[in-house]
Chains A and B, each alone.
Chain A
Amino acid sequence: MTVSNRGISPWALAAGFAFVLSGSQAWALAKKGPKIPVGDDPSLKEGSPQLVLIEVSDFQ
């Protein structure tokens, strides 16, 4: 048994492929690391560094 895709437009195939690809990229980006809010937490910095080191501690 053979499957023919003659009924599907090449544009539709390309769009579908692009959708799958962009979806997988979005998934890969989202997978990089969890995002946590730090808006009100005290910070020390000079300038605007992108890299962040978060100290988690309890003083005792």
Chain B
Amino acid sequence: MLPQVYEEYVRKGKVELIFLDLPLQMHSRALEAAKAVACAGEQQMFWDMHHQLFANQRALAPDDLATYAKELGLDVAAFKECLSGNRHLAGIRDDVRIVNSLGVYGTPAFLLGRRVPGGDKVEVLDIVKGLPPYAMLKEKLDALLAAEAPGRSPERQ
């Protein structure tokens, strides 16, 4: 579903995609995985690691994470040093606090909103809990795009 969203909305400049962490306690590897993508982000490879981990959700042991870092061409020593520390923990916990404040406690979930002009905030207009079919998300995105640009069809943007 997300690859379709990326092709149809992100690549075409219609929608910005943002990621927020919500590592669930019931998922024993989730916190380390969240740290791994943040550490990959230090080497400008956040989304590459993001895709790698989603493609390998059953293999998230520390050795697996290091293997993915190597496969992505990261500086593995720097990656491991980052992963063994806790410098991204506060950011991850901030994400959890923000998401929980919206009543979201499970994954996945999707928040639809718009950038607040001149700031680093997003106004959340809709929340989808669970993994929606692409058609449902498309309908919601198209409706918001139409509302943002009255009189213009989203397909013509």
The chain A residues found within 8 Å of chain B, CB to CB, are: 32-47, 49-60
B-side interface mostly: mixed
Known contacts A42-B46, A52-B122, A60-B60; is A33 also within 8 Å of B19 by CB? no
Query: Which A residues are in CB contact (< 8 Å) with B121?
Result: 35-39
Query: Which B residues are in CB contact (< 8 Å) with A58?
Result: 21-24, 27, 30, 33-34, 107
Write 15 A-B pairs (CB below 8 A) sorted by A numbering.
A34-B101, A34-B102, A34-B123, A38-B120, A49-B15, A50-B115, A51-B16, A54-B17, A54-B19, A55-B19, A56-B104, A56-B110, A58-B30, A58-B107, A59-B57
Counted as pairs of residues, one from A and one from B, with CB atoms less than 8 Å apart, the total is 163
Known contacts A51-B148, A57-B22, A59-B57; is A43 also within 8 Å of B120 by CB? no
